[in-house]
Amino acid sequence: MDGNMIGPGPYRATKLWNEMVKLFRGGMPLRRNWAHFRSYDHSFTGSEGVDYLHELLKRNQNFGPEVTRYQSLQLLRKFLKNHVIEDVKGRFGKEDFEDSGRLYRFPPQSPLKPLPHRIPASQIGFIPPIPRWEECEEKMQVSDKIPMNLQNVLGLQSLDGVLDSKLMSPKHIVHNVFSVNRQGIVVLKNKSEDLPHWVLSAMKCLANWPNGNDSNQPMYPGFERDVFRTVAEHFQRLKEPLLTFHLYEIFVNILGLLPGQQVAVEALQVCSLLLPPANRRKLQLLMRLMAKACQNHALPPLNDAISTRTLMVQTFSRCILCSSDEVDLDDLLATKLVNFMMDNHENVLKVPAELHKSVEEHLSHLRRAQIKYAGADTDLGAESPAHSFCRQISRAEFEEQRVTGSQGAMVELLEGIIQDKSMSFKDKKKKLKQFQRSYPDIYRRRFPTPESESAVFPEKPQRLKPQLMFFTLKKPLQPFQRSWSFRA
């Protein structure tokens, strides 16, 4: 194996880039080449560069044997764009690297990407809080366990620079743990977030080929390829990868654990709970399709040039993992992660057994406590066992929260009445008068002047004169009268 294994930690993708630049620059064979009737020392052809880098990547334990020659070519194009290499005339950036006899060389200094400088949270007196739901202990139990589990699995003292804890959603975690079907696949409350019916049908058709065509569509030569293309086009049109942009760094760090298979599986189990439920469900269904299609020998080849497995990885890797700012190693990193997930698809998207068990036990304890103390009298001076998980506050804090909380709700109610476009002018004015009588202070803050109130209520249109109103009302009645007299 060439190169050191870059383990988990902040900015792993940047460290990998710098590592490959050093290895390629230090190992690429250079010689004298002739082109256009002159010689160029210390140069190499494009084809020689692709050959060498391809072998280098396949031997490197950070990437592995799944790397394709085309991916090596793409990386060399990025090397040229970033002035890691240049053509023998000194051009780079706008030029395109060619897998041919065209000559290239190294500039005097090959630039490495600087690591962003981060000030540790402990040095600036602020530690990003992990989201907590104090009103619901079972949700706290789940969300509190995730960061500690990740730190333990990744072997890091801190997740700073790896995971922004402010972006964690306890609501997503709880949904992913408990709202699942018998197969462990997430069940969505909002069906509009699910895959379209026609995509689900196409995925089922391929996964269960040749017995999955429930729509009874006529099959023809190449039918299975058209079905696959339908699925691929839907996922490739997604605006964000299934593993999301803000979780990119944490999943790239899991790649540093792949030499230890069980540890990597456990890390993926934990990290995938951070996904929005709709993303987790789509990822589960897609990974099942990819694995089944590769194992289904009855499924005809979906591509004449490459295997079904290679096709699946190349088609869906960037739909699963990529960064928002187009990191230079995205293709290689996504390929490695997706290959691992396909090989372990039955386990990587399961809820960790220990986490699920501990939360279930805690929930059972809460239910027993709530049933036992449900009829007890409320005593503000003593802490009730049924609510021992709540943070105790002073009476002054309680009164402040009560006032601000109730006033906040009333402000929202007032704005709801004002913005309700389905409410008639008359009903809206009536409700606002009622609100003004009940909550004059809140109403006065919203409408401090008559002008601010009149801005919400435009001038009422002038009413029609009686004679005009008579004719206006009479016209719709005429057809009815004529039809009645006709029958008579």
Torsions phi, psi of 33, nearest 5? -125, 150
Question: Do 100 and 144 sit in the same domain of this protein?
Answer: no
Structure tokens, 488:
């008579």
Residue 143 confidence (pLDDT): 53
Torsions phi, psi of 38, nearest 5? -150, 160
Structure tokens, 237:
């049109």
Pairing status of strand 86-87 against strand 31-35: unpaired
**Radius of gyration for the chain, computed over Cα atoms and rounded to the nearest angstrom:** 32
What is the spatial distance between Cα 3 and Cα 334, in angstroms, rounded to a whole number?
20
- Residue 482, in any domain of the structure: no
Question: Do 276 and 151 sit in the same domain of this protein?
Answer: yes
Question: Do 250 and 333 sit in the same domain of this protein?
Answer: yes
Residue 97 confidence (pLDDT): 92
Residue 488 confidence (pLDDT): 41
- Residue 480, in any domain of the structure: no
Q: Residue 261's domain is classified under what CATH number?
A: 1.10.555.10
Look at the chain and report how many structural domains it folds into.
Answer: 3
For residue 254, what pLDDT band results from cuts at 50, 70 and 90?
Answer: confident
Using alpha carbons, list the distances in angstroms from residue 318 to 340, 347, 354, 372: 15, 21, 31, 52
**Out of 104-113, 193-202, 304-313, 399-408, least confident range:** 399-408
Q: Residue 69's domain is classified under what CATH number?
A: 1.10.10.10
Other beta carbons within 10 Å of 5: 14
- Residue 471, in any domain of the structure: no
pTM flag (> 0.75): no
Which of residues 341 and 157 earns the better pLDDT score? 341
Question: Do 285 and 423 sit in the same domain of this protein?
Answer: no
Which of residues 408 and 281 earns the better pLDDT score? 281
Question: Do 285 and 194 sit in the same domain of this protein?
Answer: yes
Residue 323 confidence (pLDDT): 87
What is the spatial distance between Cα 148 and Cα 35, in angstroms, rounded to a whole number?
59
Question: Do 98 and 152 sit in the same domain of this protein?
Answer: no
H helix and E strand count, the chain: 19, 4
Structure tokens, 146:
């995730």
Other beta carbons within 10 Å of 115: 12
Residue 25 confidence (pLDDT): 93
> Which among 343, 212, 194 has a CA at the least distance from the CA of 282?
194
Question: Going by C-beta distance under 8 Å and a sequence separation of 6 or more, which residues neighbour residue 421?
Answer: none
Question: Do 203 and 287 sit in the same domain of this protein?
Answer: yes
CB 8 within 8 A of CB 154: yes
Q: Is the pLDDT of residue 116 over 80?
A: no
Question: Do 178 and 286 sit in the same domain of this protein?
Answer: yes
Question: Do 229 and 332 sit in the same domain of this protein?
Answer: yes
Question: Do 154 and 239 sit in the same domain of this protein?
Answer: yes
pLDDT one-digit tens code per residue, 353-401: 777 776 667 667 666 665 554 444 433 333 333 333 445 556 666 555 5
- Residue 461, in any domain of the structure: no
- Mean pLDDT confidence for 225-229: 93
Range of the domain at 52: 12-105
- Residue 128, in any domain of the structure: no
- Mean pLDDT confidence for 47-57: 96
Question: Do 269 and 399 sit in the same domain of this protein?
Answer: no
- Residue 358, in any domain of the structure: no
Q: Is the pLDDT of residue 169 over 60?
A: yes
- Mean pLDDT confidence for 468-479: 43
Question: Do 307 and 450 sit in the same domain of this protein?
Answer: no
Amino acid in the structure at residue 16: L
- Residue 119, in any domain of the structure: no
pLDDT one-digit tens code per residue, 331-355: 899 999 999 999 998 888 888 877 7
Listed residues 299, 333, 353: the one ending a domain:
353
- Residue 320, in any domain of the structure: yes
